[in-house]
Amino acid sequence: MYARPVTTEITQRPVDDAAAALRWSAGADPRRDLVADWRAMRSAHCHVDHALSTAVAQVGLSLVEFTVLDILEEQVDAHLRMQDVACVAALTTGATTRLVGRLESRGLLRRVICASDRRGIYTELTDDGRDLLAAARPVHDAALRTCLEDPATVAAVSSAAAAISRR
C-alpha cells in the first residue's frame, strides 16, 4: 500500500511513504501541518475503501450498497426510514432515492409505507437481500481485516490520529 516510493512536487525526490509525501505537499508552512495530517488520514481511509469496494464487487455490490444492506440487516425490524438510509450512506436524498431504486429493482430491498405515519417510507431488507449480504459479509470482513492488520495502514492512521488529537 504505502511501500512504493512517491515523488513530491516540491523537492522531486522520492519519499518512502505516502504520509510523508502528503506532509511535504502541504509545504514548509507549519500552519498547514493539520492539512497534511488530515490528508494522511484520508489517504489511509481511501486505501481501505478501495480494498472493501474491490472485495464486495466480487459478489455484485458496490460498497455503499453493501453498507446499506448491512445496516438494514442490523436493525431490529430490518428497516430504516429513507432519511436514515441517506445518513448511513452519506448520500443526498436524490442519490438515496436512486440507490434504493436500484436495490429494489434487484429485489434486495423494498419500500414500505410507515403504518403510524403514512407520509413516511421505510426501506426493508428482502430475503434475497439477506442472502446476498450473507455472501458479501465474509469477503468484506476479510478485506477489512487484511487492511487493518497491515502495518503501513495502522501506522498511517495512528500517526495522523495522534497528530490531529494533539491539536
Residue bearing cell 492539512? 35
Relative orientation angle of helices 127-149 and 63-74, to the nearest 10 degrees:
110
Q: Which pLDDT score is estimated for 167?
A: 67
Which pLDDT score is estimated for 20? 53
103/86 Cα distance (integer angstroms): 14
What grid cell was written down for 49? 475503501
pTM: 0.75
Distance separating alpha carbons of residues 26 and 120, to the nearest angstrom? 46
Q: What is the pLDDT of residue 11?
A: 36
Q: What pLDDT score was predicted for residue 29?
A: 67
pLDDT at 158: 83
Residue 47 has pLDDT above 50, yes or no: yes
Structural domains in the chain plus CATH codes: 6-165 (1.10.10.10)
